[in-house]
Amino acid sequence: MDLEKYGWNDFFAEGFAPYAAEGYGVGRVLLQHNKIYVLYTEGGETEAEVTGRLRHEAAGPHELPAVGDWVATRARGTDGTLMIHAVLPRSSKFSRKMPWSWADEQVVAANVDTVFLVAGLDGDYNPRRIERYLIMAWESGARPVVVLNKSDLDPEGAAERVAEVEGVAPGVAVVLLSAKHDEQLAQLAPFVGPGLTVALMGSSGVGKSTIVNRLAGADMQRTAEVRLGDSRGRHTTTHRQLILLPGGGLVIDTPGMRELQLLVSERGMRETFEEIETFAAQCRFTDCRHENEPGCVVREALATGALDPERYRNYGKMQREMEETAARQDQRLAQERKERTKRLTRAFNKTQKRKG
């Protein structure tokens, strides 16, 4: 009975209250493999499935359970299989758009407290990329912490890089370390305490796996394997995607988390480029394009150096990307709507013919 160890707290208890009153049980999703889920429950680890009703009534895949979710469960009467009846309200979520449908959102990790935005101090280091990851982090609801890894590769330049990152990430903790040195990983301890869930984001090769392996310990990785049986009696072996660390704390490490596309949002954009928005809000015209309008505070800030031109360029680029993504989504939605109408018309004509 260690739900707290797995992150249970007052927030989730509140979401669960109406289900508790109806006699439901509760569990946290450790792993999802096709239609099979592995949950941590008061009775230990159990396989579970989603009820047909939840699947049917979900407005989209984002309303189905994801790794890290707390869910309301009940044993099925016929064979005792644990069934997931509902997903409890999330404290945070990371999601991506489904590649085949821009309209659908898929959650790749839920209820993450802290997200480590990992960057490597090697040739690939790029503060603009950190800004992009920050946008996603703010959007998720999790608290971002920038981890500058591979400090051993650039011992002289490291301090300057920390200052640079602090500049683009105001108010965000920046941790400088080398994941190859265990004693330096202790700096992450305040963010990986008991009951806290962390996830990692960052480009390939920055050292995310190294950090997870070090936090989890080699033995841990092996015991993280589980054997799953599906309804047809087939078995597969796979890894837990939410891991309880030996020192307390939990790590979510899913393939989906690694493939996260940049889902830029207005909110995340505003928080990341807060000072630009503040300048823009003071322009004389509310629809100022900051080109050559009189009373433009953004141009003035650029001229006096109060605003970093490179940050401003990046801001413009992100805004264009956002607009393009939105236009693409609109196009896709219009196309889907057209196809749906065509299908419905065809089905309708068929039944009319049959009647006639």
Residues contributing to the site for ligand GDP (CB under 6 A) = 149-150, 152-153, 178-180, 202, 204-210
Does 175 interact with Zn ion (rule: CB under 5 A)? no
Least distance to ligand GDP from the beta carbon of 203, Å? Answer: 7
Binder of residue 268, out of Zn ion, ligand GDP, none (CB less than 5 to 8 A by kind): none
Does 288 interact with Zn ion (rule: CB under 5 A)? yes
Name residues whose C-beta falls within 8 Å of residue 321's C-beta, 6 or more positions apart in sequence: 262, 264
Least distance to ligand GDP from the beta carbon of 258, Å? Answer: 8
Binder of residue 318, out of ligand GDP, Zn ion, none (CB less than 5 to 8 A by kind): none
Binder of residue 283, out of Zn ion, ligand GDP, none (CB less than 5 to 8 A by kind): Zn ion
Beta-bridge mates of residue 120: 149
Binder of residue 152, out of ligand GDP, Zn ion, none (CB less than 5 to 8 A by kind): ligand GDP
Least distance to ligand GDP from the beta carbon of 273, Å? Answer: 26
Q: Which runs of E-coded beta strand occur in the chain?
A: 25-33, 36-41, 44-50, 70-75, 82-87, 93-98, 101-110, 114-120, 143-149, 173-176, 197-201, 225-229, 235-239, 242-244, 250-252
Near Zn ion by CB under 5 A, which window of 156-164, 293-301, 304-312, 339-347? 293-301
DSSP 144-180: EEEEEE-GGG-TTTHHHHHHHHHHHSTT-EEEE--TT
Query: Of the two residues 51 and 184, which places its CB atom closer to ligand GDP in the complex?
Result: 184
Query: Of the two residues 209 and 319, which places its CB atom closer to ligand GDP in the complex?
Result: 209
Query: Of the two residues 72 and 206, which places its CB atom closer to ligand GDP in the complex?
Result: 206
Query: Of the two residues 152 and 300, which places its CB atom closer to ligand GDP in the complex?
Result: 152
Show the tokens assigned to 168: 């683009």
Name residues whose C-beta falls within 8 Å of residue 297's C-beta, 6 or more positions apart in sequence: 279, 280, 282, 283
Cα 203 to Cα 133: distance, rounded to the nearest angstrom: 10
DSSP state of 4: G
Q: 25 — phi, psi (to 5°)?
A: -100, 175
What is the binding site for Zn ion (CB under 5 A)?
A: 283, 288, 290, 296, 298
